Structure 1
Amino acid sequence: MGVIDSQWWSMRWPWMAVWLLTATCFAVVLQYVLARWVAARRRRRRGGGRMVSGMCIYLHETRVEGVADILGIPKADLNVSHETSVSRGFNVFGKITVGGGKAQHDRSTQTRTEYWEPNTPMKTIRLIMDRLRERDMVVDADLATGQLVPTAALADELRGTADGSSAPLTAVRRTYVSISGLFTVRRAAGGDVVLRARYGSGDPPAHVKITCEESWVREEFRVDSYSADEEFPATCLGRVRAWNPETSELTLDPVSIFL
């Protein structure tokens, strides 16, 4: 009986190995597809984002132009056409014996003028956000809830190490991030404006630091009217510059900030 069992196993084990390998590959592919499907659902659920709604308090126009160039957004993208019609008439009236006569000649000309209407910085930042979301190039992060919606590329990098919604904000690299949270503001010694927002539950608590160059801060943003500990909601589009694990500080280079 033992001889029969050994013969049966010697004939069957290669096929069982093939089936096990196939099942393992199928499980890996299924996990990958599910991860991409979950990420896609999250991106659809986040909608168009809140980046360009509300009042703009900061817009770095030089960075806006640079991002627009990278994304292929033209400086003027609206072809405006005007047509002008001009009518001219000529009247002749004459008297012949007891009768009268009148001749009328009309001539109409049309002139068309076309020009390109330049994109304003505010319109350009809207086009940038639309293009970034179309190409899945922006990560959404909500500091209040701790939720992070990664791009497909970032989800692939984090696959097998962490769930996208619980991935650390420090994992965001080489892409744009739209961060929403409660910020405080103060004016630095040189005149620049510094925004900070806490996130996470670490000790000490982590925080995002955003330094806004004074020349690009909008007049509508009354910085000095906020107290040092007064929090306000804002959304910032930028790129992660650096993470300092000793101070738990994430530095962000801003492109635009909206209330």
Structure 2
Amino acid sequence: MHLHHVSDGEGPDVVVLHGLFGAGGNLGALSRHLASHYRVHSLDLPDHGRSDWTDEPSIPSYAAAVWAWVEQQGLSSVRLVGHSLGGKVAMQLALGHPQQVNGLVVADIAPVAYPPSHQGVFAGLRAVAQAAPESRAAARVLMAPHIEESMVIQFLLLSLARGDDGLYRWRFNATGLERDYASLLQPPTGPVAPVPALFIAGELSDYKVAQYSDAISGLFPNSAITTMAGCGHWLHAQEPALFNDHVSRFLAQLRA
């Protein structure tokens, strides 16, 4: 499977994984911040961005694809940073490869099964897919009845691509993601991993990471949780300097 990636910098390898409906560039501010001390690899997850699509989207299949990419690149050890869905994939990788993953940062997600919360988003994606609009402005109008948050609409529009016929379509696998959405809500699984881990929570986020401290410590006993005050789920975009500082300080403490 081809996974699109952008690599920059020199030093220990850091793999950065984005969230649902996103792409590697979503955490670009963090990647640029880290590139002065690390070799940073920003990946598009399967079914996202410019990466290949899968037949059955799931946390295990995504983790397997990312690890195959790690091995193809000849990386002997990695540090992982993942937001939301990317955080779940990063956790699965750490649980499956604790000897090669020497550090883990998870942004605003816990290793639990969350209830469905993207019904409106999927309705908006379907409306755009069915209409195949001729502009992003038209796509915005189509999504507005289904998605209240303008920030979410703007985020989704980043993955709308213009085809050779002049019509706009989703770059990610919208149909597969909706069909197998339940699989993506499931928690990572595996034996306890001694990997040093930092969980960064948004104080105002619906994902309530701090409330799942027992689940976190149960899988990652060498972990800590820090909460960013006044931030929601998009903490890396709301307070980028603070988020970047949390990540870089943690990574600096890890063994090479």
Output the TM-score relative to the length of structure 1.
0.23
More strand by share: 1
Larger helix fraction of residues? 2
Higher radius of gyration, 1 or 2: 1
TM-score, structure 2 as length reference: 0.23
